Amino acid sequence: MVKRQTVWLSTMMVLSLMLIGYYTMNSGSETASSAGTETSPPVTAVNNPPASHSSGASGDTGGTQATSASDASSPANAEGGSSDDFFVIQQTSVTAQITRNEDRLMQVLSNDNASQADIANAEQQLKKLQSWQGGIESAEEEIKGDGYLDCAIVPNADYSEVKVYVRSKSPLTKLDAAKIMDIVSEQLNFPMENIVVKSHG
């Protein structure tokens, strides 16, 4: 009887140890699995946008090359383009030139350290520039109103000479040139001998 109880107790102990080991092993693997899941960082794919390819233009949002005022002020720079481009470039150049000079004079007027002589001179020059701008626009419109396809009036840097470019349906005669010079002289209050008329396009 004692032997049977001993065998039974021994068997129960072995089974208990096996159960304890089984549960311990399963519990450990589940913990390890859970821990591995929690500590793995999420993986995010980042797609970098393709590098934008510049067209080589600077200062232009539309992707076309901008013409600087200094380049546009020379008619030779537009000879290779169409006649329409030539006149647009010349007109834009003149406007930019006048605007730069006006800005420079406005800086003198707003300078607290400027002398009275400087201020008076700046005011005088500013009035002349504004008169030139209005006169150029009026003369160009009047010339085109006489039947010319396009016109650009281009003063030199110190406003001592004016070149007038016109595009006409027929060859430009001396009489035509004289009439154009008269219009420009009247609108700009400028001597005719300092006005040169050229046909372009």
Average pLDDT estimate for 25-33:
49
Q: Please report which confidence band the pLDDT of residue 27 belongs to, taking 50, 70 and 90 as the band edges.
A: low
Q: State how far the Cα of 4 lies from the Cα of 9, in Å rounded to an integer.
A: 9
As beta bridge partners, residue 199 has 166
- Residue 72 burial (CB < 10 Å; 0-12/13-18/19+)? buried
Average pLDDT estimate for 169-177:
93
As beta bridge partners, residue 198 has 165
The tens digit of pLDDT for each residue in 124-162 reads 999 999 999 999 999 999 999 999 999 999 999 999 999
Q: What is the dihedral of CA 89, 95, 99, 105, to 10 degrees?
A: 120
Asked whether the beta carbons of 164 and 180 are under 8 A apart, the reply is yes
Alpha carbon 109 to chain centroid, angstroms: 30
Alpha helix segments (H runs only) across the chain: 2-39, 69-72, 83-109, 116-145, 174-188
Report the run of H or E that residue 164 belongs to, with start and end.
strand 162-167
Alpha carbon 170 to chain centroid, angstroms: 39
Q: Please report which confidence band the pLDDT of residue 201 belongs to, taking 50, 70 and 90 as the band edges.
A: confident
Nearest to 151 by CA among 94, 78, 200, 189: 200
What six digits make up the tokens of 64? 């076309």
The tens digit of pLDDT for each residue in 48-72 reads 333 333 333 333 333 333 333 333 3
Q: Which residues, 6+ apart, have CB-to-CB distance to 91 below 8 Å? A: 140, 152
Between 169 and 103, name the one with better pLDDT: 103
Q: Give residue for tokens 């970098």.
A: 48
Determine which of 25-39, 63-77, 149-163, 186-200 has the lowest per-residue pLDDT on average.
63-77
- Residue 87 burial (CB < 10 Å; 0-12/13-18/19+)? buried
CATH of domain 69-199: 1.10.287.4300
Mean pLDDT of the chain: 74
The tens digit of pLDDT for each residue in 86-122 reads 999 999 999 999 999 999 999 999 999 999 999 999 9
This prediction has a pTM of 0.58
Alpha carbon 147 to chain centroid, angstroms: 36
Q: Please report which confidence band the pLDDT of residue 33 belongs to, taking 50, 70 and 90 as the band edges.
A: very low
Q: What are phi and psi of 163, to 5 degrees?
A: -105, 135
Domain edges within the chain: 69-199
Between 66 and 181, name the one with better pLDDT: 181
